[in-house]
Structure 1
Amino acid sequence: MPRPPATTFEHLQYHAAIQPDRVALILDDGEITYGRFAADAMRFTKALAELGIRGGQVVTIHHPHFYIEWLLTIGCENLGAVSVSDNARNWKQAGYLYQHVDVGLTNAAVDDEPPFPYHCLTDDWAYAVLRMDLALAQTQPVTTPDLDALVRITRSSGSTGIPKLIPRTRRNQEAYITECIRIIGLTAATRLVLVGATFHINPILVRCQTCICLGATVHRASDPAKAIDRQIPTHIWMLTGLIEWLVSALPEENRIYPKLSIELAGSALSIPQKTLVTSKLTENILTFMGSNEATFLMKMMDSDNGSVVSGVDLELHDEYGAPVPDGVAGRIAVRTPSMIDGYYKSEEETGKWFRNGWFYTGDAGIMTGPRKVQLLGRADDMVFLGGVKESPLVLEDVLRTGSGVRDAAVVSIKASDGGNLVCVALVLADNADLETVRAEILTRWSIFRARLIITAVNDLPRTENGKVSRAKVRDFFRQQQGIAPATG
């Protein structure tokens, strides 16, 4: 019987044996070689075992230091435990998650008393573990989880409401690693700079695992502009909303990097943002439509149109689950190699989104050609304009091209009289005048005869994945209009 594929720890050990001085991780406070990383992972595995962490437990991890959190995650996998990266100090605000947790690992005292035991991992504790005798640490047995073993619980983005829990098995994660190599192009020569990234986001963990599998280098930078200038990375991962901040920090004489690929996540890239990236960094921009449930789905050509990634089955279905013809709007249904089978301990949500072997993303689209799809946005986020359903993505893209608009979100809510209100939240450029922008929008959209509310905001609420939280945008406008919150 074949054994499961190598774990992250086994990859660390392998590269530590053949190239111990190769740099695995670059942080603000120094470099971590493969030799040191493998030894520290063994130490943390032993330390967690001494805390009572064991196979099958669901362990939530929160630590502000990127390296320590990664070591804790590897240690949990080595012991057969299931890891969750989250903030245990806010357990009351995330009861949907913490009701399933067995043990918490955090670096500070927890507010109130959580419904699970937790260990406060102080800096002194972490330093003591890092100084542990390696021979002692190596006495700890290490587990290699089976392919169907649960190793990670992450969350859906929560862009439309309460996040759902996503169980990731070894099989799911290994398939995702393969996709990162094939689709993003990560190799042993990769130097990946992470901007604004934490392990709360599963794609970050998997990209880091992929780099360790290959013997590549990860750079977690608080000053990415300096990292780009000094390290000359091959890849950058960042949220789209951080583009202006990054580019503004680059030197005036900054050169273009023709071999650099920048992967942007969370939201569509506006035309001004694309101009910034291509004029200051690189023309190799990677944006994908994906989901935590099924990972990569489409490579986006622009904010609305994408090409279905090879290895992915994508169909457009009607409300009864039957395929619709090309050119007709439908709900996006997918099957992928790294797709989960259902949500964690939620038969109701699983039955709603997983049917007949397909995962329904909740998005609407139109098939415009072989493996080509035009996105219309979330099926339940479609906006009524003059009695016609319109895609919020298309409307927002139009707004971003207008003068004075940096970003926009369009949602629809029910008014107190039962009618539809189209609500527009705008992030204005410096020195832009709201009344001028509002007049331009009202003129442009007058043909729809819709009831419009247009408001300027400092920023749009986003999930940890960088997606606009339309649920929060709707709540904002309901509160502004004195409308009771939606129920159900």
Structure 2
Amino acid sequence: MTYEDRPWLALYRNDVPPDIDVEQPTMLEMLAATVRSDPDATAVMYFDGQLSFAELDQQSDALARALRAGGLAKGDRVALFLQNVPQFVLALAGIWKAGGVAVSINPMSRERELGYQLEDSGAAVLIALEGLYESVGRNVVSDSPVRRVITTSELEYQSRNDPRVFDGIVKKDLGTDDLATLIDQHRLGDPITTDAAPEDIAVLTYTSGTTGPPKGAMTSHANMTFNAQVYRDWLGLTPKDTVLGVAPLFHITGLIGHIAVSVLARMPLVLAYRFQPEVMLDAIREHRPTFTVGAITAFTALLNTPGCAPEDFTSMRLLYSGGAPISPTAAEAVRAMTGAALHNIYGLTETTSPTHAVPVGADTPVDPTSGALSVGVPVPNTVVRIEDEGGAVLPIGEIGELVVRGPQVVRGYWNKPEESASAIRDGWFHTGDVGFMDEAGWFYVVDRKKDMIIASGYKVWPREVEDVLAEHPAVREAAVVGIADEYRGETVKAFVSLVAGASVTPEDLIDHCKQRMAAYKYPRSVVLVEELPKTVTGKILRRELRTTS
């Protein structure tokens, strides 16, 4: 295949840098345009509740007045410690209208993790779910910069009170400001005006911390609105579509692939508190969404939910996955159940989600050598090159680090100038991911640079071994790490979880790989586990596995 055979590839040749000086609006300007266009359109669906764009606009105005009345100044940080609830979307808009910067915090965080991010960001305000504040936040805020706490109930904006989700939860008085009360108190007041600029920081989006302490990526309004447009235009999303909130909203995928694009495309966002496969499947049946993007682990969990059937997915025309690698085997399983192709979309926190995506309707190629499924081609206005360890650009087909430049690249990390200078050099973000581009312009991510294993002098990429393990019918998930070996320097060790009801021995799995891989690649040991440690977005925490090896 040549560039001439596929016109959409010709646009993204990485030796012809495009014009990346693109002026973007702010998220507030984007929201205002949507409200003017169709104020009664549904912004959020939450079980049996709905919130229109007009209501979202009015309630976020009230929150902005409340924050300003409490002394929030331009540039102050407001931490969001919330699950996938309508209040997350409302609070984002209210923070921006008040002139603040949102700090998105993983709702699975415990005291140490929450305390670190509050301290690192210097958050002045914490907006938290009552349950999260009671169990975690209350123990942290007294030793943090937080001077005001606003809590909100998980039960609001719906009345179904599904016992699978809300069993035992009741609204409580925790001695904090109540979000609903603040909104009622500040519904009336002067019109909200803001001087937010496209390059202002919109969100401090913390990295997943898979290789070290989380860092706050300074995600601007322009970063967010650019990649919202990428999602909308690349996928052809319109107000007739509905997006299913599979990814957590605190994560960059949820912020852009759910919230930002739903505002831009004027389409409803379906939320279900947090990811529970059986609850999410019911949301699909009830609201009939047309698009979602999430980790492969979420799709796998949905497909393995009792009662899941192909007819459940007849409304879904666009399925994309990011955040963790997809094996060809997993992609085929999704297609077999849903009838829709599961396409890759690739990006990082520091690139505000996508830098690459598989075009709609394209057949995703598989690299015959590594077995890796392509992550697609660069999205518009984005330049990608492959570099060696010395920074030299490598020719097509050679493996090196993916380095990216475009309007979605953040300016750096909050209060970490050395880390920022190391990761972003002359506008080029060094991803830490290793891969290559083929002659047709498709990109492949082989693995994380830091996860490479050197066994007897040979390079072994964990991803390749994991994909071979995934081909075994008994394997549900696999993760591979390198461990110290006196003779080989490093050797390959695999951790495997099995399909329900399956039975296989570690020796069987070693033999399975041995028959399909070079001698230096196959795992010398396999450990069977019930679950692999992951981030909330589905990335396997290999560093945790290394500590148990």
RMSD over aligned CA atoms reads 2.8
Q: Report the Cα offset of residue 228 of structure 1.
A: 2.1
Task: Name 1:309's counterpart in structure 2.
Answer: 378
Kept in 2: contact 1:237–1:262 (CA 8 A): yes
SS across alignment from 2:346: strand
Kept in 2: contact 1:9–1:38 (CA 8 A): no
Alignment of 1:80-479 (within 5 A): 80-86=99-105, 90=110, 92-93=112-113, 97=117, 98-105=119-126, 106=128, 107=130, 108=133, 109-112=137-140, 113-123=142-152, 125-132=178-185, 134-136=187-189, 139=190, 141-195=192-246, 197-207=247-257, 208-221=259-272, 223-247=279-303, 248-249=305-306, 252=309, 254=311, 257=314, 260-294=317-351, 295-299=353-357, 301=364, 302=366, 303-310=372-379, 311-415=381-485, 419-429=489-499, 430-441=501-512, 443-444=514-515, 447-448=519-520, 452-477=524-549
Whichever residue aligns with residue 115 of structure 1, its letter is S
Q: Report the Cα offset of residue 399 of structure 1.
A: 1.0
Which is further off, 260-269 or 248-257?
248-257
Q: Report the Cα offset of residue 442 of structure 1.
A: 6.7
Q: Report the Cα offset of residue 425 of structure 1.
A: 0.8
Whichever residue aligns with residue 225 of structure 2, its letter is E
Deviations 1:456-483 (A, max 9, x none): 1112212233211222221221xxxxxx
Deviations 1:236-264 (A, max 9, x none): 23321122332325554726537611122
Kept in 1: contact 2:207–2:217 (CA 8 A): yes
Q: Report the Cα offset of residue 78 of structure 1.
A: 0.6
Whichever residue aligns with residue 502 of structure 2, its letter is N
Q: Report the Cα offset of residue 144 of structure 1.
A: 3.5
Distance 1:81 1:256, change over 3 A: closer
Counterpart CA distance in 1 for 2:186 and 2:310 is 48
Distance 1:419 1:15, change over 3 A: closer
Q: Report the Cα offset of residue 153 of structure 1.
A: 0.6
Deviations 1:347-396 (A, max 9, x none): 22123222233211112223321422332211221123443102211111
SS across alignment from 2:502: coil
How many pairs does the alignment contain? 471
Distance 1:29 1:110, change over 3 A: farther
Kept in 2: contact 1:176–1:206 (CA 8 A): yes
Whichever residue aligns with residue 355 of structure 1, its letter is R
Q: Report the Cα offset of residue 426 of structure 1.
A: 0.8
Task: Name 1:480's counterpart in structure 2.
Answer: none
Which is further off, 262-271 or 441-450?
441-450
Q: Report the Cα offset of residue 52 of structure 1.
A: 2.1
Distance 1:476 1:304, change over 3 A: farther
Q: Report the Cα offset of residue 441 of structure 1.
A: 4.4
SS across alignment from 2:138: coil
The answer to which structure has the higher strand fraction is 1
Counterpart CA distance in 2 for 1:346 and 1:434 is 47
SS across alignment from 1:350: helix
Whichever residue aligns with residue 357 of structure 2, its letter is K
Counterpart CA distance in 2 for 1:408 and 1:322 is 34
Counterpart CA distance in 2 for 1:327 and 1:286 is 22
Distance 1:62 1:439, change over 3 A: closer
Deviations 1:262-302 (A, max 9, x none): 12222233445334422332323222221111232223535
Whichever residue aligns with residue 57 of structure 1, its letter is D
Identity over aligned pairs, percent: 22
Distance 1:448 1:421, change over 3 A: closer
Deviations 1:297-320 (A, max 9, x none): 223535442332243211111111
Counterpart CA distance in 2 for 1:11 and 1:332 is 31
Whichever residue aligns with residue 296 of structure 1, its letter is P
Counterpart CA distance in 2 for 1:261 and 1:216 is 14
Counterpart CA distance in 2 for 1:202 and 1:423 is 31
Q: TM-score, normalised by structure 2?
A: 0.78
Task: Note the residue ranges of structure 1 that are not aligned, 5 or more in a row.
Answer: 478-488
Alignment of 1:15-94 (within 5 A): 15-64=34-83, 66-86=85-105, 90=110, 92-93=112-113
Q: TM-score, normalised by structure 1?
A: 0.87
Q: Report the Cα offset of residue 190 of structure 1.
A: 2.0
Distance 1:30 1:390, change over 3 A: same
Q: Which has the higher contact order (CA 8 A, sep 6+)?
A: 2
Counterpart CA distance in 2 for 1:114 and 1:120 is 13
Q: Report the Cα offset of residue 417 of structure 1.
A: 8.3
Kept in 1: contact 2:66–2:183 (CA 8 A): no
SS across alignment from 1:32: strand
Whichever residue aligns with residue 111 of structure 1, its letter is N
Counterpart CA distance in 2 for 1:379 and 1:57 is 35
Deviations 1:195-251 (A, max 9, x none): 2x3322022122312212232111113522222223222212332112233232555
Distance 1:424 1:439, change over 3 A: closer
Kept in 2: contact 1:258–1:284 (CA 8 A): no
Q: Report the Cα offset of residue 75 of structure 1.
A: 1.2
Whichever residue aligns with residue 346 of structure 1, its letter is K
Kept in 2: contact 1:318–1:330 (CA 8 A): yes
Distance 1:451 1:229, change over 3 A: closer
Kept in 1: contact 2:76–2:101 (CA 8 A): yes
Whichever residue aligns with residue 76 of structure 2, its letter is Q
Whichever residue aligns with residue 378 of structure 2, its letter is V
Task: Name 1:484's counterpart in structure 2.
Answer: none
Counterpart CA distance in 1 for 2:37 and 2:383 is 39
Distance 1:192 1:265, change over 3 A: same
Distance 1:324 1:244, change over 3 A: closer
Counterpart CA distance in 2 for 1:203 and 1:278 is 22
SS across alignment from 2:438: strand
Whichever residue aligns with residue 475 of structure 2, its letter is V
SS across alignment from 2:54: helix
